[in-house]
């Protein structure tokens, strides 16, 4: 036995399996959706209302950045001008229709994100093959060597190769008459689990765009054979909300320098071109609004909301809540941005070059949260990708347990527990522990960076799958 043989089985699924799985997801998500879409009108999907006001301002010929949502929210449009142009179709819909269309879009893009993030595990179920390196035709094969696409976040290749073939063991097939049910069932469970993460719940609550941006960047980085020019989606996401620009850095550092990949260089140039084109386009179409954003609105961080609010879980937000003078706060923030950015991007590059693209993407997504001046809890939608990178192909029980622990941590409202502890006004405990817990999601994101960058590579070296 050479270790290259692979036992497989043909997985046949009744035609009703996938509709039943989707029905399960819909039923499990219904309480969340109905609760927030049944909220009082002026508290319902308030960020979607912001997007629509941007499109509405353009339709009515009014200045985009002087327009606010109706009372009592009075929220200004805070996105680049191309986002207002893209929001025009939303403004043309009635408010009830826009709510349902947008909410459906949130779940579609969450499904795309889950499919990519957990494809190492789902790929093994899709083909009934338990061997490393095999996946369904529609999912990038772990270890396939596809640019950004296979990486062995659960099955190994490249310099860090581990796995069934490398260890000389023969893989066992997924057998039994219920084998055809596993993929839809596991996908449905993962969808429901991710739906109830607090950052994803907030997508539905506020009608946010973050999970769409996550899906765009993730697909651009790890799709096996994209039908679009790689880099196009990252450029689009960056033009719409700026913070996905961290993926320009990711493409840059993985495409240039020692062992840089030419396909990453091509993706970088495409992403930069797309972002630049969509940034310059508004100067031709709505020049006054474009100038207003880039030279005025962008420079006012308070337009985004109270930066010291609990919901701002970026490093800057955590520092602001220490209530130090502005100068040392800003200096300390810049030092932390440099240190965390260097550590995170360095390990994201290493992960990609070692064949673990999902880990590289997860680390880069966390950089978008931690390094940004303002990162609300819903910006942590990147936790879905982190969970997929941690769980890998599901064969390592330790990695699965760690992923489950991370999932539970981001399901419960940790920062609000900190607010409650502070409000209790218990000497010493409230001001110290309360502050730490209030920053729980941001501090947790820093721990996730360490898990992905340091713990996970060591765990891959330790674990040798038997099948």
Nearest to 83 by CA among 270, 250, 382, 298: 298
Cα–Cα dist 53/48, whole Å? 9
d(CA 2, CA 20): 41
pLDDT for res 147: 36
The Cα 374–Cα 307 span in angstroms is 7
pLDDT at 10: 52
Backbone torsions φ then ψ of 312, nearest 5 degrees: -85, 100
List, as one string, the DSSP characters of 115-137: HHHTHHHHHHHHHTB-STT---T
State pLDDT tens for residues 190-244: 999 999 999 999 999 999 999 999 999 999 999 999 999 999 999 999 999 999 9
Residue 20 has pLDDT above 50, yes or no: yes
For residue 162, the model assigns a pLDDT of 37
Residue 131 has pLDDT above 50, yes or no: no
pLDDT digits (tens, 9 = 90+) for 81-96: 999 999 999 999 999 9
Mean pLDDT, all residues of the chain: 87
Determine what percent of the chain is predicted with pLDDT higher than 70.
85
Tell me what percent of the residues of the chain surpass a pLDDT of 90: 74
Residue 32 has, within 13 A of its CA and on its CB side, a CA count of 24
398 close to 193: Cβ distance less than 8 angstroms: no
Looking at 38-156, list the stretches that DSSP marks H as alpha helix, in order from N- to C-terminal side.
Answer: 46-60, 81-86, 88-92, 95-117, 119-127
- Per the CB < 8 A criterion, the answer to whether 387 and 194 are in contact is yes
Mean pLDDT across 333-362: 98
* Residue 245 token pair: 């620009």
Q: Which residue has the higher pLDDT, 67 or 209?
A: 209
Is-contact 102 204, C-beta < 8 A?
no
- Per residue in 94-105, pLDDT (tens digit) is 999 999 999 999
Residue 303: count other Cβ atoms within 10 Å of its Cβ.
Answer: 15
Q: What one-character DSSP code corresponds to residue 311?
A: T
Position 299 confidence tier, pLDDT thresholds 50, 70, 90:
confident
Per the omega criterion (within 30 degrees of 0), is the bond before 54 cis?
Answer: no
Phi/psi for 318 (5° steps) reads -65, -40
- The label of the residue with tokens 């891959």 reads 460
Question: Rounded to an integer, what distance in angstroms lies between the CA atom of residue 456 and that of residue 130?
Answer: 21
Mark residue 396 as left, alpha or beta (left: phi above 0; alpha: psi -120 to 50; beta: remaining).
Answer: beta
Give the pLDDT band of residue 467 (cuts 50, 70, 90). low
pLDDT, one tens digit per residue, over 379-407 is: 999 999 999 999 999 999 999 999 999 99
> 424 exposed, middle or buried (CB, 10 Å; 0-12, 13-18, 19+)?
exposed
Mean pLDDT of 54-67: 93
pLDDT score of 71: 77
Distance CA 247, CA 382 (A): 13
Can you tell me the distance from the alpha carbon of 224 to that of 56, in angstroms, rounded to the nearest whole number? 38
**Residue 173, strand partner residues:** 129
pLDDT, one tens digit per residue, over 396-450 is 999 999 999 999 999 999 999 999 999 999 998 999 999 999 999 999 999 999 9
**Per-residue confidence at 132, pLDDT binned at 50, 70, 90?**
very low
DSSP state of 452: I
**pLDDT value, residue 39:** 87
pLDDT in tens, 308-337: 899 999 999 999 999 889 999 999 999 999
Q: How far is CA 291 from CA 58, 69, 359, in A?
A: 15, 21, 38
Q: What is the pLDDT of residue 297?
A: 87
pLDDT at 170 over 70: no
Helix H or strand E encompassing 246? helix 246-255
Nearest 5°: CA angle at 373, between 368 and 379? 45
pLDDT value at position 204?
96
- 117/67: higher pLDDT: 117
Task: Tell me 43's DSSP state.
Answer: G
Residue 463 near residue 397, CB atoms below 8 Å: no
| Three-state SS annotation for 180-241 | HHHHHHHHHHHHHHHHCCHHHHHHHHHCCCHHHHHHHHHHHHHCCCCCCCCCHHHHHHHHHH
Which pLDDT value is given to residue 74? Answer: 83
State the average pLDDT over residues 48-55.
Answer: 94
pLDDT over 60 at 2, yes or no: no
């Amino acid at each position: 036995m050479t270790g290259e043989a692979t036992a497989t089985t043909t997985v046949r699924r009744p035609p009703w399996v996938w509709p039943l799985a989707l029905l399960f997801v819909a039923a499990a998500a219904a309480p969340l959706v109905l609760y927030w879409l049944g909220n009082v009108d002026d508290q319902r999907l308030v960020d979607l209302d912001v997007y629509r006001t941007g499109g509405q301002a353009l339709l009515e010929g009014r200045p985009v950045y002087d327009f606010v949502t109706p009372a009592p929210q009075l929220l200004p449009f805070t996105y680049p001008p191309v986002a207002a142009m893209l929001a025009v179709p939303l403004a043309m819909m009635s408010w009830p229709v826009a709510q349902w269309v947008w909410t459906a879009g949130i779940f579609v893009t969450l499904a795309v994100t889950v499919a990519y993030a957990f494809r190492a595990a789902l790929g093994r179920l899709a083909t009934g093959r338990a061997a490393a390196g095999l996946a369904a035709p529609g999912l990038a094969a772990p270890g396939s060597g596809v640019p950004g696409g296979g990486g062995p976040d659960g099955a190994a290749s490249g310099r860090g190769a581990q796995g069934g073939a490398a260890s000389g063991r023969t893989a066992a097939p997924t057998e039994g008459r219920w084998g055809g049910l596993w993929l839809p069932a596991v996908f449905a469970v993962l969808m429901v689990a991710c739906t109830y993460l607090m950052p994803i719940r907030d997508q539905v609550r506020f009608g946010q765009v973050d999970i769409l941006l996550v899906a765009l960047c993730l697909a651009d980085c790890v799709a096996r054979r994209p039908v679009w020019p790689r880099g196009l989606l990252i450029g689009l996401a960056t033009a719409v909300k700026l913070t996905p620009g961290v993926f320009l850095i990711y493409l840059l550092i993985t495409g240039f320098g020692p062992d840089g990949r030419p396909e990453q260089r091509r993706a970088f140039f495409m992403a930069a071109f797309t972002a630049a084109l969509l940034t310059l386009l508004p100067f031709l179409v709505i020049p006054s609004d474009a100038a207003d954003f880039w030279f005025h609105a962008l420079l006012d961080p308070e337009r985004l909301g109270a930066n010291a609010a609990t919901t701002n879980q970026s490093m800057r937000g955590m520092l602001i809540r220490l209530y130090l003078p502005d100068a040392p706060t800003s200096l300390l923030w810049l030092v932390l941005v440099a240190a965390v950015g260097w550590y995170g991007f360095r390990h994201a590059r290493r992960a990609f070059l070692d064949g673990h693209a999902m880990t590289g993407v997860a680390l880069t997504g966390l950089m978008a949260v931690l390094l940004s001046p303002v990162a609300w809890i819903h910006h942590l939608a990147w936790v879905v990708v982190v969970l997929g990178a941690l769980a890998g192909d599901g064969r390592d029980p330790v990695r699965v347990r760690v992923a489950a622990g991370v999932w539970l941590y981001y399901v419960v409202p940790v920062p609000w527990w900190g607010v409650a502890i502070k409000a209790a006004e218990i000497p010493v405990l409230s001001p110290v522990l309360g502050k730490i817990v209030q920053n729980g999601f941001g501090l947790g994101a820093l721990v996730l960076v360490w898990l992905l960058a340091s713990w996970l590579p060591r765990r891959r070296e330790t674990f040798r799958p038997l099948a």
